[in-house]
Amino acid sequence: METFDRKKLYNKLIRFIIPLPFLLYFFNGLDRTNIGYAALTMNKELGISSVDFGIVTSVFFITYLIFQVPTNMLLERIGARKVIPTIVIGWGLATLLTFFAQNLTQLIVFRVLLGMFESGFFVGIIYWLTLWFPRSERGRVTAIFTLSLSVANIIGPPVAGYIIQYINFGGISGWRWLFIIEGILPMILGVIAWFVMRDNPDQAKWLSVEEKNVIRADLEEEKANNLANKEPVSWKKTVTNATLWKLAAIYGIINVAVQAASIWMPTLIKDIAAFLSPSLIGFVMVLPMIISVICMYWVGKHSDKIGERKWHIALPMFVLAFSFLLICLPVNSLALKMLALMLFGASVMSYYGPFWALPSELLSVEGVAISIAVINCCNAIGSICGNMLTGILMGRFGSTGVFVFFSIIAAVAGLIVLTLDLKKHSPEFSKQLSPNGLSPEQ
């Protein structure tokens, strides 16, 4: 196994493993953010104010928060092969039902259901990937997987804008057709996932016995290294770990801005450029999201290559903060606004790969699933607060107040990242990636 071509093996693993979760996360992104484009016409039709819309976007994250940890405990108990396809079919159904919403209350109910079903998907996939890939591959793998969200942000806006503006079959509003189209497709993929997903490499028929042995050996060696450097920890010790809560705080705070911005951006752009139609707003967002895909992949790959995480997470957050300030500058310059949006695209997802490689590097192997769920729960809390506050700020201060708020939040998250002591927590990772055996930060 010492002479086995591991690069070739893990590239093969990526080709076989990543396409399905990539597609699923693509539709996850569409189903979560399509409400922002629907709002361009839906809010007026249903009589929804900016504060009401803040509630609509927030309730999704309440059930997302409540059901996240239980769902991932279930995933550990019965496996991804059964849990993840069920989740996907459920969220597709919840999206489809939004087609029938007639008032604010019904819309809230459907968003609650969507949050319940989506709650375990992302952290479930992240945990599932730890059962297939060793630490040295996870930054790259996570970046490739999460690229699908950027791809959704490229394809989704112009498609959503077009559907809302031009698809009105049977006199039914375009925003309703948006939900039914984007609900049916993930339900189909969920059924497919039932038949093609496997819980771990041992169940993969497309891997040879030797390949399975190499993967198993790599994962067992990683676990042994963790056990040798860290005492076994209980569930209680896992959730009282200071590093876990620092990571959770970072992710929760940055998502106050990121999650709210991803949902509210169409409305915010409409506020500063009222002449734009829904379809044009969708096309305006294409270029920033193309840049997002490129930067996200490059940052994740570069982070793995040099064995550095801290600045690969913090710097995109600082650039994001700057982009929000540029967007809201009272300057009537289309070029400046587009530059700001391109900086937004370059930074809004770039920290994902390096960040989501940290839990398995800094925390106990036995508690990694729970740790990931706790971190993503703080994402939900941040998203609830972000959407509620955005609705209030939009009503009182307009889009300028919202963008200034987003900028402050992103900068604070970046500053907290700089307080992480990665040399203390992850010596074995540094030795693995640094050719001279020194920590990348030394």
In whole angstroms, give the CA distance from residue 159 to residue 298. 26
Quote the pLDDT of residue 232. 53
Listed residue (160, 156, 183, 413) closest to 293, CA to CA = 156
CA angle 53, 56, 61 (to 5 degrees): 130
The tokens describing 118, both together, are 């989506």
CA distances from 366 to 31, 113, 331, 356 (A): 32, 31, 53, 17
List pLDDT tens digits, range 254-312: 988 887 787 777 877 777 666 677 777 777 778 888 888 888 888 888 888 888 889 99
Quote the pLDDT of residue 179. 92
Q: Highest mean pLDDT: which of 38-52, 195-209, 231-245, 419-433?
A: 38-52
Does this model's pTM top 0.85? no
Look up residue 181 and give its amino acid.
Answer: I
Quote the pLDDT of residue 109. 94
Look up residue 325 and give its amino acid.
Answer: L
Lowest model confidence (mean pLDDT) among 215-219, 264-268, 341-345, 367-371:
367-371
Quote the pLDDT of residue 436. 34
Look up residue 238 and give its amino acid.
Answer: T
In whole angstroms, give the CA distance from residue 390 to residue 419. 28
Give the mean pLDDT of the chain. 81
Quote the pLDDT of residue 187. 93
In this predicted structure, the answer to whether residue 239 has a pLDDT above a threshold of 80 is: no
365: pLDDT confidence band, cut at 50, 70 and 90?
A: low
Share of the chain above pLDDT 90, in %: 19
Quote the pLDDT of residue 4. 66
Quote the pLDDT of residue 431. 41
CA 255 to chain centre: 10
Q: What's the mean pLDDT in 15-30?
A: 89
What is the per-residue burial (b if ≥16 Cβ within 10 Å, else e) of 342-355?
Answer: bbbbbbbbbbbbbb
92, 32 in Cβ contact below 8 A? no
Domains of the chain, first to last: 6-199+211-433 (1.20.1250.20)
Higher pLDDT, 5 or 418: 418
Higher pLDDT, 442 or 330: 330
186, 87 in Cβ contact below 8 A? no
Residue 127: φ, ψ to 5°: -65, -45
CA distances from 184 to 37, 72, 193 (A): 18, 25, 15
302, 353 in Cβ contact below 8 A? no
The tokens describing 49, both together, are 């104010």
Residue 262: CB atoms within 10 Å: 21
Residue 47: CB atoms within 10 Å: 9
State the angle between helix axes of 242-272 and 310-328 in degrees (0 to 180), rounded to the nearest 10: 20
171, 313 in Cβ contact below 8 A? no
List pLDDT tens digits, range 394-429: 888 888 888 899 999 999 999 999 998 876 544 444
Quote the pLDDT of residue 366. 59
Quote the pLDDT of residue 321. 94
Residue 434: φ, ψ to 5°: -95, 125
Quote the pLDDT of residue 426. 46
Quote the pLDDT of residue 378. 84
In whole angstroms, give the CA distance from residue 437 to residue 431. 4
Look up residue 371 and give its amino acid.
Answer: S
Quote the pLDDT of residue 250. 93
Lowest model confidence (mean pLDDT) among 152-166, 289-303, 367-381:
367-381
List pLDDT tens digits, range 59-110: 888 888 888 778 877 877 887 778 889 999 999 999 999 999 889 999 999 9
372, 121 in Cβ contact below 8 A? no
Q: At which residue do the structure tokens 């995933």 appear?
A: 75
Long-range interactions of 267-270: CB distance < 8 A, separation 24+: 267/36, 267/39, 267/40, 267/50, 267/53, 267/394, 268/394, 268/399, 268/402, 268/403, 270/40
Residues 6+ apart with CB under 8 A from 205: none
List pLDDT tens digits, range 25-69: 998 888 877 888 888 889 888 988 888 888 888 888 888 888 877
SS3 for 150-188 is HHHHHHHHHHHHHHHHHCCHHHCCHHHHHHHHHHHHHHH
